[in-house]
Chain A
Amino acid sequence: MKEQLVLRVVAKCLIPPILIFGCYIITHGELSPGGGFQGGIVLASAFILHALIHGRATLHQAFPRNLWATIATIGALIFAGVGTYSLLRGGQFLDYGWIVPSHPAKGEPWGMTLVEYGVGLTVCSVMVLIYDMISEPAEDDPTVDEDSA
């Protein structure tokens, strides 16, 4: 769809605001509606929009498939890591108050914020991955890249 001028221009105008909005939803998860899950999906929609218009090959040039898989794993590890950290500080698993034992009222928002970031990373990259996989051409295609093997 690269030759469609309107699509290209609209996407160019839309993608940066979508990215900013996605980051906003993730970072303000504990203050306003939204959170890691919704923000991650909004972020992913920006990448998917780009891939829809410019083809998946350009997406793979900037972000190879293995990178998405790595980011997804890192996100889940951040979540588990925050839980383990509070465990190591002497509390229970995922008891965020123990992140700052001297001041649990500070630890709780810290924990939630980090956890939301983790969820956002995982959801965003998995959604892009799923789109990438579903739009995989079934037959032989010269644009199919080898960076995933």
Chain B
Amino acid sequence: MSEQLLVDIGLLTLVTALAIAAIEVRSLFGAAMLAGVYSLVMALEWTTLHAIDVAFTEAAVGAGISTVLLIGALVHVGRDEKKPRRRVDLRGLVVVGITGAFLVYGTLDMPAFGDPQAPVHTHRAVRLVEQQVGKLPGGPGERHAAVENAADTAFEPTSVVGSDPLDLVDDFAGHVPNMVTSVLATYRGYDTMFETVVILIAGMSMMLLLQRRRKDVR
């Protein structure tokens, strides 16, 4: 058993315990804090999986802003849950159990954890790493590819194209070193754009809903 696996098991056990605690605890303030700690431990787990961007987001959003917003909401709803809930809802347990069993059954078809021969590493990722996805034939991307082949290595400033000083290939030969940003901003550009719009709409909705409520109160 590798050290990596030990750390993973430890962190994920902690995450599960924190999640259950966040649901079970009666004090809402405690629940908000536990949710923040949950995000922080998840950020550690993402870091051990080398998903630094995800870890970054989890730490900033989950542990940072979300906790502040939850506590801000607590000012309005009070610090404690009103009434104790039923301990176990059998119907819910059955539904959740069946769904969970199906999900576990689904993972049986997946390649082993960390398998380098998994399709995700061989099928599309290669082109994503080369940042060639979405380059149209006949478009500037084709020239891009030609420049790239001539440049050979990504991190070497090279001059390949003609005498035009503006044609100097930049340090990264058109690559953006942070692959995640590259995928998010270009390959999934529409997705990211409408994510931004969703955030904008969320802010606008907050303004519309809560500002109107204040006027009604008056």
Binding site for B on A (CB under 8 A): 25, 29-35, 37-38, 41-42, 44-45, 48, 52, 65, 68-69, 72-73, 75-76, 79-80, 83, 91-98, 101-109, 111-112, 115-116, 118-119, 122-123, 125-127, 129-131, 133-136, 138-140, 144, 148
Contact = CB atoms under 8 A, between A and B. Distances in A.
Interface residues of B, number: 62
B12 interface: no
Given A31-B178, A130-B69, A138-B76, A37 B57 contact: yes
Contacts of B202: 126, 130
7 closest Cβ pairs, A-B complex: A105-B174, A126-B203, A104-B140, A94-B189, A97-B140, A33-B52, A134-B72
Contact of A38 (B57, B166, B203): B57
A113 B180 CA distance: 13
Contacts of A31: 176-178
Contacts of A45: 60, 64-65, 68
A102 B166 CA distance: 9
A138 to B, nearest CB: 6
A115 B174 CA distance: 16
Contacts of B152: none
A80 B139 CA distance: 21
B197 A97 contact: no
Contact of A76 (B166, B196, B211): B196
Contacts of B167: 102-103
A122 B144 contact: no
Given A72-B203, A130-B202, A32 B140 contact: no
A68 B209 CA distance: 17
B149 interface: no
A109 B183 CA distance: 12
Contacts of A97: 135, 139-141, 144
Contact of B140 (A73, A101, A123, A138): A101
B206 interface: yes
Contacts of A69: 203-204, 207
B218 interface: yes
A105 B203 contact: no
Interface in B184-211: 184-186, 189-190, 192-193, 196-197, 199-200, 202-204, 206-207, 209-211
